[in-house]
Each structure stands twice: as C-alpha cells, then as structure tokens.
Structure 1
Amino acid sequence: MLFLSGGWSTAQHSNLPICTAQNEQLFPDIVSDGNRGAIIAWMDARNGNRDVFIQRIDAKGKILWKEDGIAICQLPGSQGWPILIPVSDNNGTIIVWRDSRNGNPDLYAQRIDINGTELWEKNGIPICQNLASQDDPKAIADGEDGVIVVWEDWRNNRQDLFAQRVNGKGEAIWSIDGVAVYDGEGDQYDPSLTTDQTGGAIFAWWDISTPEWRVFSQRISADGRKLWPERGLTVCEANGNQGGPSVISDGSSGAFIVWSDYRNDPAIFTTSDLYAQRINA
C-alpha cells in the first residue's frame, strides 16, 4: 500500500490513502499540479509484474482521478522507478520510467494532461531502446514543455552516459537512442543535470577512468551538441576521491556543483567532506 502523509488530519494514523490496491506499491515520485494540488506516480505490483500508475489530488485531499490510480503502462516485463517532470503550462506532467518490455532495461516516457489523459503514444514513447541496458535515469524540464533525460548506458560494454531531449509532442530531438554525454574509458556514475536556460542542459557525474575518482561536467546545447571539452570539463583534480555530485543552475547559463570529497581522508573512505564549484557558461 502507498500512503501520502499530508496536512488533512492531525492524527498520524489517518493519512490520505493514494493507492490501496493488492500487492505492493513502491518508489513514489511527486510534483505540483500547478493548481495547489499534486500528481503522484509509483511502481505497482497489483498485476503480478511491475507496472506504473499515476494519481492526482487537490489541496483538500480529494482524489481527482480513478480510484487507485491510472495505469500508464501494463505491458509484459517490468515498468517502474517513475520520475515526474512538471510542464510549464501547468497542464499535467511528463513521466519517465525504466521498462523491460523488450527484455533489457530501456527508458520510456508519457505526457499526462491535468485530466489524466495520455497525450503521447499509448504505453509511452521510447527515450532509449538500445539493445544494451539503460539505468539510473534523471530528468528535468527543457523549458519548452519537453524533457531532457540522462542515464547510465552499457552499449559500449562499459558504463557511459547518454542523454535525450523530447519535445512537448513526444518527438525525440536529439539522435535516436540519445547523444553521448561521455563515452570514453572507464565507468561513469550517478549523473545529475540542470537546465542551461537555453533549451539544453549541464551535466555532472563521477568517473573511475583515472586512478582516483574525479568529478566531471558537460554542457549540451538545445540541438544536442557538446559545448565543453569532448571528454567533459574536470571539476576537481584534488588528491583522493570525489563522487556523488549534484548540479543546479546558477541562473546565468552556468551551474553550481557540489560533491563528496575524500581529499582529507588518510584512511580512505572513512571521512568525507563536501566541496563545491561554480562553472560559467
């Protein structure tokens, strides 16, 4: 069962049930609906396998869509780990999820309007369905009712990073199955992204292609071109390891990046500090 704790009751045992269907509901995500309510998505096992469902509530806690949620995708295989992205006109949301309908883990997306109606192809449009595995997606709004998604990708027999931009009509703007954010030696982990305020995005990740872990960044334009060095901009070259970066826009087409840092850890991986950097456009 999935419950959303809210301000509708002062009794902690009387929260608002979002879905009480059989089996389990897991990994919820939530965004504002732009009308003082919220939209919630989750992974759902009511049908035996894993599917994706979605629900909307208003400010008073009233369920606005179908009881126990609307099914976004119920195809064979597993669908789950949804990510919700608000759209700029407050008319619903875009949802991105991991999907094994083709056997290997792929990424799909759907747009839902404020009434719970699917606006794109039934069961979602593919973000990436390369024969290799795609994992750990992150997504942001592109500022034009579309979405930019980044993920870890094994198409080159190592863990690289790829990204895709989809417009508000559900059309992929960048190359089929995405453009490479980084596709060099070693493995790249935990991508994070933020808007560059011009329809593109700034990405950050950590890399183990060097003897010590390093944090890198890349900017990709609205039309899918790398704007910084081909292998990414090195954010930190201090001794020790750095990892787990998060990135946010600085409001001027650049970004702030923060990460865990072991430069002051003589015992290795026992004491982590936090460091940050600002990168201009």
Structure 2
Amino acid sequence: MLIRGLRSWALAVASSTIVTTACAQWSGSPDAANLICTTTVNQLTQFTTDGQGGAIFSWNGKDGNSADVVLAQRLDADGIAQWGPGGIAINPGTPGFTLGAPQRDANGGAFIPWASYVPYNYYSIRVQHVNRDGLPLLPGDGIELLLESSVGLWENFLSDNQGGALLVWFRQGNLHIKHIDSSGAVNWTYDAAEPDPAMDLATLADGEGGVFICWRSRDKSIRTQHVNKYGNAVWPAVGKLLSTDGEIPAIAPDGSGGAIFTWLDFRDVGVATGHAYAQRLDAAGNSLWATNGLRISSSQDTQFFTYPVSDGKGGATVGYSSYNSETYLTDVRVQRISSKGKLLWSSLGKLLSRPNSSQYITSAVPDGANGAIVFWHSGQSLFAQRVNSLGMTQWFPRTGILCVQNDISSVATLNDPTGGAFYGWNVSRDNVVSIFVNRISSRGRLGSTH
C-alpha cells in the first residue's frame, strides 16, 4: 500500500575512503560488471551520455589530504576509462559533494553540479564544465549558481540540450531558474511566486533551450509551468493545474513542443492509496487527453512510481509498480497511451515482473524504436525488459537479469544511441559501498552494443 508522504528522493553525504580501479570492457555476465570504486559513503550512481556512444558519471570520494572531493569518469562505448584510472577531481580546491547527475554538453563533455559547505550554515551550489578529455572549462572549482541554507531537496540541474544547462529550484513559495551557456555565463533568470511549490519537483528540457517544470504544492495539487528559452513563462502565471490531490509527478516529451505528465492521484480511493494518471499538454498548455487526467490502469489496487517514456508518435509508454491484492505482491507493469489519450494495451497493463516475489520499478528509458526499456529490482537482483510499440517483450528470458547481488540500491539508467542502455548501481556490505556500471544492447546482450 502506498502511504501518503512516500518520497523518492534521498541524499546522504558522509566521509569516505575511496579505492578506484581502471575500468575494463563491459561485462557479459550478471555476476560481474565494471567496478568503479569502493567507499564508505552512501553514494548515488548518476549518468549522462557523452554523445559518442559512452557515458559520464560522478561520485563522492577523498583526495590525498582526506578532503571531500567530487570525482568524475568517462567510459567510452567499449567501457574503457577515458579520464585516468581514478577519474578526475571536479573540485580540487574546495571540499564538496555531488548534487545531481552530470549533464551533457554539445561536444562530448559535461556540466557537473556539486555543493560545498560555507560557514555559517550555508551551502554553495556550483557547477564545473569539463570537455570530452576531462579538462575543466570554467576557472577554479567552477562557478557558483546559488547560495542556500539547505541543499539536496528541491534543486534540479539539467541540460538544455542546446549546449547549456539549467538550475531549477524553489524556496519559500517561489520558483527559480537560472540558465547558463557553455562558458558558464548566466543568460537569464526566472523568479515567480507560483502557487506554493513545496515538493516532488520534476523537470524536462523542452529541446529549444527552455524547460517544463512540474511540482506538488502544499495544498496537494499538481501543477506545471513551461518557461521558454528567453526565461518567460509560456503558460498562465499560476501554472496549469493537473490534479487537486496528487504526488510524485514525472514528465516525458510529446515530440510536438508539448509534454506528457504522469503522477499518483488520490481522488478515487481516499487518502491511503493512489492510482496512476496521465495528461498531455500541447505547447500552448491545452489539455489533449481526458479532463482532469487519464487513468492508466483499471485496477483498484495501488499504483506508484510512474516512469513515462515518449513513444515517438505523440503518446507515451508508462512503466509503473502496482500492488496485487490477489498475490499480496508488488508487480511491475507497463501501459502505452496513444497521442489521442487512448490506452492501447490491456486496461490492467502488461505484466513484466516475475510473479513469485515483489518487484519494484526503478526507471524506464526509450529504446529509440518507439518502445521502452523498463528496469526494476527485487532487492537482490536487478532486471530489465524491452517492450516494443505493440507491447511485445523483446528479450529472453522474459525478465532479463542484469546483476545478482544483495543489497542493491541507487540504481541509475541511461538510454544509449544503439537502442540499449547503460545502468549502474550501488552494493552496500559491511559499511562499504561499491559502485558498478554496465550496459545492455538492444538485443538484450549484457556488455554489448549489438
């Protein structure tokens, strides 16, 4: 059962001792993968693409003086480390920690956000821009974007997909955005008193230099706003209302200048459980699907943690978890919605997970062919399945095992340019956290691009 107040965010920063290894080629076995490091810090595995078939990621570690340092590494398409066996230090002069995933630029490099403590009781949110060779493009430890009394709750840093990046955050009832170009210069800012934004911040670049923002207000409503590449609100100043009682929104592009939103809604069954809903808004903010949203599943059981993926035709494939009151287990299911807002598969969704234990969705990414790759875990194993546009599973066995390790946490995924995906995870044992990464091909082959 989903209890109100369940949240998907977490941030833990602690002192660490880090050991890095030179990254070899990707692994073809679920029992092995690229070990990036071992550390006592509770890490978050985070990816971005390098735009050339590889991936860039960052993590927390220690430098030679035992100071907290943000490290980054780039793996090429073959899984070979490009920035040395231990990665590169993003903040060699100032102790700090990662704050969100690296974000790609237009030339094989990345913007890497991080934060540092500033006496007294303040945090400096900063960003460094590194090129494809791991060389810093901004002076020193990067530029400061924000000075705040707390971090790690409601800031989102994302690429604008035009060579720049955006920082989105809200504080004291106001929504704020800063846009920077490749040189780190702030091009524009946005500050507005949107209706009491409080939590569950979701963002999506609009592909033209602007951003869609969605959030849950303190009155439990779900609202959204579109800010264009000039820093101007496209929709009404109060945002567009999606739900009067919802939480945990997510966003996918619709391919036509608008966006598709999913969230958990409590209108049907009271305060303890939620159902998955979706809505499509066009570029002008007009609702294109059912008034007040489209219910994704006809099941009366609880759904939670929705992950929408564009189907490339104006609709979306949505992965989600759903409690099963007959088996007392949690399933992973997927549903496709047409551009007109019609459910294309069974009203209960397509079952992906195994029926013998509870499974929990972690993410979904596009496969580049109008379908999706859905990831989930059982706590001891990580699974994935590719579903095509007709709802047919593409990999055998039906629930492909990506890794078999106890105490899996902080799973991160990223689609690759060949129709497959990168994936990374943490394993915690005896107060030591190990970070692993691997990839799976469009055909379901581990450690392969074919």
* TM-score normalised over the length of structure 2: 0.53
Q: Cα 1:67–1:85, aligned 2, differ >3 Å: closer, same or farther?
A: same
Q: Which residue type is aligned with residue 144 of structure 1?
A: K
5+ residue gaps, structure 1: none
**Counterpart of 1:6?**
178
**Counterpart of 1:17?**
191
Q: Which residue type is aligned with residue 441 of structure 2?
A: I
**Counterpart of 2:404?**
237
Distance in 2, matches of 1:230 and 1:100, equals: 36
**Do the aligned residues in 2 keep the contact of 1:206 with 1:244 (CA within 8 Å)?**
no
Q: Which residue type is aligned with residue 148 of structure 1?
A: T
Distance in 2, matches of 1:2 and 1:180, equals: 41
**Counterpart of 1:36?**
209
Distance in 2, matches of 1:271 and 1:183, equals: 28
Distance in 2, matches of 1:102 and 1:32, equals: 31
Quote how far apart the aligned CAs of 1:233 are: 1.1
Q: Does 1:201 align with 2:375?
A: no
**Do the aligned residues in 2 keep the contact of 1:150 with 1:191 (CA within 8 Å)?**
no
Distance in 1, matches of 2:231 and 2:401, equals: 47
Distance in 2, matches of 1:2 and 1:26, equals: 12
Q: Which residue type is aligned with residue 210 of structure 2?
A: G
**Do the aligned residues in 1 keep the contact of 2:375 with 2:384 (CA within 8 Å)?**
yes
Distance in 1, matches of 2:286 and 2:440, equals: 41
**Counterpart of 1:111?**
280
Choose between structure 1 and 2 for higher RCO, CA contacts under 8 A separated by at least 6 residues.
2
Query: C-alpha offsets along residues 111-139 of structure 1, whole Å, 9 cap, x if unaligned?
Result: 11111111111101111241111111112
Distance in 2, matches of 1:25 and 1:218, equals: 34
Quote how far apart the aligned CAs of 1:93 are: 0.8
Q: Secondary structure at the match of 1:228?
A: coil
Distance in 1, matches of 2:206 and 2:439, equals: 33
* TM-score normalised over the length of structure 1: 0.83
> Residue 323 of structure 2 is aligned with which of 154, 157, 166?
154
**Counterpart of 1:125?**
294
**Do the aligned residues in 2 keep the contact of 1:201 with 1:219 (CA within 8 Å)?**
yes
Q: Which residue type is aligned with residue 42 of structure 1?
A: W
Q: Cα 1:35–1:160, aligned 2, differ >3 Å: closer, same or farther?
A: same
Q: Which residue type is aligned with residue 146 of structure 1?
A: G
Q: Secondary structure at the match of 2:296?
A: strand
* Aligned-pair Cα RMSD in Å: 2.5
Q: Cα 1:19–1:108, aligned 2, differ >3 Å: closer, same or farther?
A: farther
Query: C-alpha offsets along residues 239-265 of structure 1, whole Å, 9 cap, x if unaligned?
Result: x44344333333333322222235xx4
Q: Which residue type is aligned with residue 292 of structure 2?
A: N
Q: Does 1:175 align with 2:346?
A: yes
**Counterpart of 1:145?**
314
Query: C-alpha offsets along residues 123-168 of structure 1, whole Å, 9 cap, x if unaligned?
Result: 0111124111111111211121111111111124211101111111
Distance in 2, matches of 1:54 and 1:27, equals: 12
5+ residue gaps, structure 2: 1-172, 181-185, 444-450
Q: Cα 1:255–1:81, aligned 2, differ >3 Å: closer, same or farther?
A: same
Q: Does 1:275 align with 2:449?
A: no
Q: Cα 1:70–1:89, aligned 2, differ >3 Å: closer, same or farther?
A: closer
